[in-house]
Structure formats: C-alpha cells, structure tokens
Amino acid sequence: MSKLPEDDLEHVFNHTQSLWEELRGQRLFITGGTGFFGMWLLETFIYANDRMSLGASAVVLTRNPANFALKAPHLAERNDLTLHQGDVRDFIFPKGNFSHVIHAGTTSSVHVEPLEMFDTIVQGTRHVLDFAATHNTRKFLFISSGAVYGKQLPEITHISEDYHGAPDPLEPMSAYGEGKRAAELLCTLMADRHGFETKIARCFTFIGPYLPLDAHFAVGNFIRDALQGESIRIGGDGTPFRSYLYTADLAIWLWTILFQGKAGRAYNVGSSTQMTIRGVAEVTSAALGSTAQIRLAKTLTPGQSASRYVPNVDRARTELGLEAHIDLVSSLKKTSLWYK
C-alpha cells in the first residue's frame, strides 16, 4: 500500500508539533501498530521524527513481521521502527526502557469467537500493562471503544463519558464491549499500583486511508461499492445513526491524549456530526460520483426507534482543544482517492 498523503501528514504535524519534544531521544512501544489505527500512528510518528530530528524510536508488536514488510515496506525499512514478533497476550518483553506505550492491539472482527475476543482484550491488556510496569514507562495510552457504554438509548443523541450504562453481560456479543471495560479497569488498577499515567481513548467510528473496504465497516463497504460501480448495499434498514471522524484528525486526537490527557481519564474520540446510515450511503454516492442505486437489506419496522452510536466529545474539546477539522465529504473523497 501507498504511504499516507503528504497533506494529511502535514495536517497532523501542524496540530501536534508542540507535543513531540517530549519524545526526544525516547522509545515507544506500540501494539496494534500494523492495523488501521496503528498505521496512522506509525506514519505520523516517523514524519514528526524526521521533521524535528527527535532521535526517537518505536518498537512495534506484530504477529507476522514478514506480512507487515510486504504491506508497508516504506515502514519496515525504517531504522527508527523495529518489528517485534509475538502475540499481545504472551509476547516476550523487549529489553530496555520505554517512556511511552500505546496499546492498540486487539480484535473487533465479527468473525472472532466471543470468548477468544474477550481473552485477547483482557489478557493482552494485562500483559502490556505488566510490560509498562517493568520498563520505566511514564505514559500509557489504551485504545478503548465506545462499545463500553453498551446499547445507546434512543433518547440520548450523543453519549458522554459520564454515562454509566454497560453492555449486557448475558449476551455473547457483548464480549468486545465488556472486554474493553475490564481492560480499562486494569489500566486504573495497574497505574495505581505502579505509578505511571494511563489515558483512555474511547473510539467510535472513523474513515480514512487503511480503512478495510471488505470488513464490517459500513462506510468502507460503501466506498468499495461506489468505486466498483456497483449498487451501494446497506445491511439493515438504513436508520441507525453514526458519525465519522477522518483518520488524520484521529491521529491528532490520539497523540494529544497520550501527551496531554489527564492521568486516569477517559476521552471519547470521534465526530459529533451524526447522520443515518442511509444518509451516509447517499453522501458517499454523491461525493464519489456514483449513479448506482442504494439497496436496503431490510425494511423499516414501524414504531421502532433508530439505534445510535454517536459520541459527545465536549470533554476532548474543552480540556484538550480537540476538533474535527475534515468533514465527511472531504473524508470520502480523500479516502477513495488514496485507494484508487
């Protein structure tokens, strides 16, 4: 795959330049560095490292270094990135000190058995926290999810960090959300015991380069259908509400939370501009110049409330000055252009 567009890298750098000095001469450890979020973290890190001559380096955990080298040779060949083979649940700890740790390694695939998903999230987080506790880590960023809130009530248009709902523990499909909840608690307990700062990013929905176009991400599937000239297919009735943050803005938010977020604090990460799934499909079709039909897999059930998965991001905005800079239409065009 191609590296990220220069204007996106510059956008992230311009909004984070004042933060990077903290990494001068330091080492990072990153899990999940070869995934959707991780690729953005790695590329924006090396961009800042080069621009500011930080002399920083990162060790990146991956199950398959050879596959990563094929996927991103421009990263695998870097001297400031070292690939460390292993599973997040039981990897052998690399030697040396690591001032900052970003734990983004998990699985949210619908094809993963729920018990394995839960074990990967919880055991993996505990193992990475044990690593941080024994390698002089000062700041630890855990990539969590808005799934920790459980089903968003229809009367709550934007869910905040103060909401105390939760996934249904008697429902197997709650494995992802409950796993993230348990992992957040582990972050709190381990930070209290060992004295390093933990920050939690509760992430919602996103769009941008490296987003899989053949997975369970609706907007990615819409882009794929539009680029292939096919009908844009919606798996449901099109009524659920979602919001999308472009991944260049996501990178700004994650780095800012790592460096400046309050210790022991959770921040919602996403856009507050909501739209129905059908609306997203229509905007995708128009933005990408598609003339194909939009097809719904299900019809609307009369009297049924629309589901929502939309964050309230006031905390990130007021405490850290974070904003969504790139709108959905621009995000769709930039993502499709990168894939072309």
Domain definitions of the chain by residue range: 6-207+245-270+312-325
DSSP for 239-267, written as a single string: --EE--EEHHHHHHHHHHHHHHSPTTEEE
In sequence order, what are the residues at sequence separation of 6 or more whose Cβ sits closer than 8 angstroms to the Cβ of residue 304? 239
State how far the alpha carbon of 243 is from the alpha carbons of 76, 235, 273, 305, 337, in Å.
33, 17, 6, 18, 21
Strands 57-62 and 139-145: unpaired
State how far the alpha carbon of 159 is from the alpha carbons of 40, 48, 148, 149, 244, in Å.
26, 33, 11, 8, 15
**Tell me, what DSSP letter sits at residue 77?**
T
**Alpha carbon distance, N-terminus to C-terminus of the chain:** 11
| Helix, coil or strand: residue 170 | coil
CATH 3.40.50.720 fits 6-207+245-270+312-325, yes or no: yes
Nearest of 252, 215, 331 to residue 48 by alpha carbon: 252
Strands 275-276 and 241-242: antiparallel
| Helix, coil or strand: residue 273 | coil
H or E segment at 124?
Answer: helix 114-133
pTM (predicted TM-score):
0.96
Query: What is the C-alpha separation between 63 and 85, in angstroms, rounded?
Result: 5
**Tell me, what DSSP letter sits at residue 92?**
P
Query: What is the C-alpha separation between 231 and 14, in angstroms, rounded?
Result: 39
**Tell me, what DSSP letter sits at residue 305?**
P
Q: Number of helices and strands (H, E) in the chain?
A: 11, 14
- Mean pLDDT per 10-residue interval, the chain, length 340 residues: 87 98 98 94 97 98 93 93 96 98 81 91 98 98 97 94 95 95 98 97 97 90 93 93 98 98 98 96 94 88 88 98 98 95
**Tell me, what DSSP letter sits at residue 115?**
H
Token pair recorded at residue 256: 């800012």
DSSP H helices, the chain, are 6-16, 36-52, 65-71, 73-76, 114-133, 175-194, 218-227, 247-260, 277-287, 314-320, 328-339
Contact 255, 44 (CB under 8 A): yes
Token pair recorded at residue 111: 């094809």
**Tell me, what DSSP letter sits at residue 23?**
G
